[in-house]
Amino acid sequence: MQILFRADGNSTIGLGHLVRTLALAEMLHPFYTCSWAIQEPSEAISQQIKQSGCTLIKLPATTDYVAEAKYLTETYAHQFSAVILDGYLFTTDYQQILRPFFKIICIDDLHTGHFVANTVINPAGGISPDNYSKEAYTKIYAGPEYALLRPPFLEAATAIRTLPAISRVFMNMGGADPENFTAQVLENLAQLPGEIKIEVVVGSAYRHRSSLAKWADRNTNVTIHQQLSAAQMCQLMQACSLAILPPSTVAYEWCSVGGPLYFIQTAENQENLKNFLLQEQLALPFDELNNLLPETRLSATYFAEQLHKQRQFFDGQSPARLCQVVDQLFYRDLLHLRRTNSGDLQLLFHWINDPVVRRFSLNPETVPLTTHTTWFRYKLTDKNCFIFIAEIRQVPVGMIRFDIHQRETIISYLVDENYRGKGLGTLLLQEGILKFKIEAHQVSSISGLVQKENIASIKAFTKAGFTINPEGDKDYPNVLKFTLLN
């Protein structure tokens, strides 16, 4: 399946949208064919996009985004299954034009306007679906567990980290920094007591390189780095003991590396992330640096405390979560059903003793391994029993079982705990029934028994076309019986 990314970046609007969406492209590249549409990219940005594994599509500069959306549908509707948008100009109108032709994912940090996309990803903490104006079908995934981080920072999140022997400050005010906060911060740092070694990072779109170089010539404690790769940037962060950054993606990158962080808000869209960093004590305002810097330079304890707090939120596992978010749009295409075999004994044993599965089972007692083994071996030889394992990318995600009786077939299913709440139950029922009918040939009515408290299964059976059987089940009168008639 092919995905089209749409995000811009330059010296005027900055590189924030570009950097975080490039991180997502790298995460998805092993599983999807990715392309990137961008208005008039610089050569440096073009190379970054290509290095992420994306095919580059250069768009002409325009402010008529409605016309652009129409162009994308007319030109690429046959090629791409989904579009991932990151930018404030991709409004409701833009999304509505794309909606009939593509699945849509929006990367967002402002929650303004109305969203008609299938999915919205907001890496800022403290955000809930209630913050959004959206369609009923639009799903919101928010928080640092969905952090859009590049591979070196994901690896750093699980690496051992201690206070560097040489005290250095990492500083970056964004890839473009059009208002030149870099110069302002350096002037403030020059007023602090003592000489602080400062590592300043600027991006390819930074337009004040000449004046910054002159400043560095007069201040030998300042080293300038430009257009670093993700690996180089991460390595430099690891060599520094604290950072001064805007509350943006680069702050999340620092939190993944770990250490004291001081922030300066440079844009309105950083408000939510700033509030999250403050609330969780992951960072402090730059104004407090003057009081705390002498302590943090010397205190391994304070360094370790901040590192511990940051590691609670940045575990390096966001790619798995984000890939699952994208995969949900294509579950019907990705889902594969196979007949169970003897090698599935432990897998099913683990599943059936899941606390949630047991709570909603007709018999809630824990199943001993010996009992399960006897049952499983019998079912493998029972010609009237069909058990299918559901897999996505060869990872088991659920099970569906059909027991054929004289007058009807009884169905039961379960979904792995990591895949619940994503609409997979309905799809498993639909696809499982199709598979069963092919293999079992003649089938009468199919019924499933559901506890009245099992709201998720009630919804799944209803969406799959089942209706409540008013006669119920004579053996289990206190449960709901759902029936699907041929």
Judge whether 56 and 305 are in contact, CB under 8 Å: no
Judge whether 255 and 314 are in contact, CB under 8 Å: yes
Judge whether 452 and 391 are in contact, CB under 8 Å: no
Q: Left if phi > 0, otherwise alpha if psi is -120 to 50, otherwise beta: which for 385?
A: beta
Who contacts 301 (Cβ-Cβ below 8 Å, separation ≥6)? none
CA 331/CA 223 separation, integer angstroms:
49
Q: How far is CA 334 from CA 331, 448, 478, in A?
A: 5, 25, 36
Q: How far is CA 448 from CA 188, 460, 461, in A?
A: 69, 11, 8
DSSP string, 109-146: SS--SEE-SSEEEE--SS--GGG-EE-TT-EEEESGGG
CA 342/CA 346 separation, integer angstroms:
9
Among residues 17, 78, 225, 336, which one is catalytic?
17
Q: At what angle do helices 230-238 and 249-257 cross, to 10 degrees?
A: 50
Active-site annotation holds for 17? yes
CA 208/CA 178 separation, integer angstroms:
8
Tokens 């959004």 sit on residue: 132
CA 167/CA 300 separation, integer angstroms:
11
Judge whether 71 and 39 are in contact, CB under 8 Å: no
The token pair at 265 is 């808000």
The token pair at 35 is 């392309």
Judge whether 123 and 148 are in contact, CB under 8 Å: yes
H or E stretch including 80? none
Q: Residue 71 burial (CB < 10 Å; 0-12/13-18/19+)?
A: middle
Q: How far is CA 308 from CA 163, 199, 260, 275, 412, in A?
A: 13, 24, 11, 19, 44
* Residues in a beta bridge with 392: 335, 395
Short-list 306, 197, 301, CA closest to 256? 306
Q: Is 150 annotated to bind ligand?
A: yes
* Residues in a beta bridge with 170: 199, 243
The token pair at 355 is 């606390």
Q: What are the binding residues for substrate? A: 150, 253
Query: Which residues are part of the catalytic machinery?
Result: 17
Q: What are the binding residues? A: 150, 253
